[in-house]
Amino acid sequence: MARPRAKGLSRRRKGDVATDRAVYDTIRRAMLMGRLLPGTKLAEPALARVLKVSRERVRKALHRLVHEGWLEAVPNRGTFVPALTVEEVREIYDVRTMLETAIVSRLCAGHGPPEAQRLKAHVGEERIAVRNDDRGRLFGLSGEFHVLLAELCGNEQLSKLLRGLLTRSTMHFSQAAPERFHNCAGPHDHADIVKAILARDTKKAAKLMLDHLLGLAEWQSAWRPPSTPVGIEEAFRGLSAVKRPA
Amino acid sequence: MARPRAKGLSRRRKGDVATDRAVYDTIRRAMLMGRLLPGTKLAEPALARVLKVSRERVRKALHRLVHEGWLEAVPNRGTFVPALTVEEVREIYDVRTMLETAIVSRLCAGHGPPEAQRLKAHVGEERIAVRNDDRGRLFGLSGEFHVLLAELCGNEQLSKLLRGLLTRSTMHFSQAAPERFHNCAGPHDHADIVKAILARDTKKAAKLMLDHLLGLAEWQSAWRPPSTPVGIEEAFRGLSAVKRPA
DNA sequence: TGTCGGAATAATGTGCACATTTGAAATCGA
DNA sequence: TCGATTTCAAATGTGCACATTATTCCGACA
């Protein structure tokens, strides 16, 4: 039929899944960088204006983030950055304890040379980060350690589940200024756990993981995130959805 | 401003979240009833026509179901009923084993009279269902038993997680004709597990749960769902999104 | 002066109109 | 007759317009 287009521009690409990912990643990155504090409202028009995308894209990304537990949606009100209660943090670490003690037990029973190699490599990287006092890298590695343990079990469902739990429990860490991240006990605990796994000492490994998570939960529960909301424009300053400055 | 509406009808209620839930529940119910076989395509116009709702509502419900793992979306192709592989089933039951053995251990260590009462009540209901040969009720109760154990731990995160795992692992059961559901070992296993919990025998309870899940996984993996797709119209015959015949 | 109430404004929610893409039927050629 | 190419219809994806809802602001009244 070749009908002439009514409005002017609208150069529309095909199933542009790349832009969707970019918007989603940008918002998530802003949260990981600690720029979005609990209580902040993510208004759709403001986000669309700042990220230079249409409102529908923002809406879709927000819905996805809500489904994944990063944000909270109130009907007819908007989407907000959630404030995890100490009870929620305790519950999340409780579930993590159940899963991760089982994981280290599993790894003690059945791991081979390649798994041992990856564990030792990760501990080495953490040690380097500590030596260089690279807080940002250490922050990322500390979380990835737990994901690595899950992945070494060779269970994709388990990895996905633990990854979701980690994002929720590290949200607090992110909401604190991540450049101030300092966890001297973390890398040392990780090294001990790996040592126990390599020695196939199941009881010791499980106990170390239990104590490690208990310590993390206690330290995290003691800290309360600030509650002064910040504007959207300044929160996303320097971040862009269309071009990755990476 | 009171601008006259362009088109005729469109009597739109307020933030109608009830319709959204109805559409979502209807599709989910059709899956639980085993009417949607793996490989079936859930086309949006067909669903909208059958359920008597707009396409956007269907679209939103489908997106949610995709995100929760009930369905699979292929870009520009459509939404399909997934076919779980035996490997996925094995992995899901592996994760469930980790969580649920920890749950029964937890319950052995710390449960009071109200928890004991609810456990005994559930076992009683299952016994009644077995006596009456009520397959549908037994099918529901068998799943709820595991959710009940998680809820008795008083951990909301744990309950939500296990609920998601259950929906995925029971999808196979649903895809078999549920009226043919017959699990003579299930209720008996459940009664034994409850007995061990009430006796606070941690090792025995964990072992019983482990064997129970192992048996379920083995039985479930042995069975392969049929792969003859069925039309949308007949799959949703009798089901409605606007009025619940319940 | 403080509070209650209504109007203006901004934001959310949703139906609708196309553009793009896919799948398959139809047509053509060997 | 079979295979490859073209054509066409249906489905998916997305921007847009507008109704509905919440919030804010401002003035009247006690």
Chain A within 8 Å of B12 (Cβ-Cβ)? no
Provide, as residue numbers in chain B, all residues whose Cβ is less than 8 Å from the Cβ of A95. 99, 155, 157-158, 161
- Topology of the domain covering B17-83+226-235: Arc Repressor Mutant, subunit A (1.10.10)
CB A55 within 8 A of CB A44: yes
Instruction: Please enumerate in sequence order all residues whose Cβ is within 8 A of that of B147, keeping only pairs 6 or more positions apart, or say none.
Output: B159, B162, B163, B166
CB A162 within 8 A of CB A96: yes
Provide, as residue numbers in chain B, all residues whose Cβ is less than 8 Å from the Cβ of A15. 75-76
What is the model's pLDDT at position A93?
Answer: 95
Q: Which CATH architecture has domain B86-222?
A: Up-down Bundle (1.20)
Q: Which of A171-175, B150-154, B173-177: highest mean pLDDT?
A: B150-154
Among residues of chain B, what percentage have pLDDT more than 70? 83
Chain A: give the shortest CA distance to residue B129, in Å: 32
**pLDDT for B246 beyond 50:** no
For residue B8, say whether its CB is under 7 Å from any atom of strand D: no
Helical residues (DSSP H) of B5-112, grouped into ranges: 17-32, 44-51, 55-67, 86-109
CB A64 within 8 A of CB A25: no
Looking at residue A41, the DSSP 8-state letter turns out to be: B
Interface-testing mutation among A157, A159, A169, A213, with chain B (most B C-beta atoms within 10 A): A157
Q: Which residues pair with A61 in a beta bridge?
A: none
How does pLDDT run across B168-199, given as a tens digit for each residue?
Answer: 887 776 766 555 566 666 778 999 999 999 99
**Hey, what are B188's tokens?**
């008996």
Q: How many Å apart are CA B160 and CA B175, to the nearest integer?
A: 23
**Hey, what are A172's tokens?**
């607090």
For chain B, the straight-line distance linking the first and the last C-alpha, in angstroms and rounded, comes to: 43
CB A21 within 8 A of CB A210: no
Among A13-17, A86-90, B242-246, which is the least confidently predicted range?
Answer: B242-246
CA of A227 to C1' of C3 (A): 29
- Report which residue type is found at B63: H
Domain A18-83+226-235 belongs in CATH node 1.10.10.10? yes
Looking at residue A180, the DSSP 8-state letter turns out to be: G
Provide, as residue numbers in chain B, all residues whose Cβ is less than 8 Å from the Cβ of A94. 155, 157-158
**pLDDT for A237 beyond 90:** no
Q: Which of A137-151, A229-243, B132-146, B212-226: highest mean pLDDT?
A: A137-151
Chain B: give the shortest CA distance to residue A118, in Å: 22
> What's the pLDDT band for A15 if we cut at 50, 70, 90?
low
Give the domain ranges of chain A: 18-83+226-235, 86-222
What is the model's pLDDT at position B61?
Answer: 97
Q: Does this chain's domain A18-83+226-235 share its CATH topology with A86-222? A: no
Query: Whose CA is closest to A117, among A148, A138, A90, A147?
Result: A148
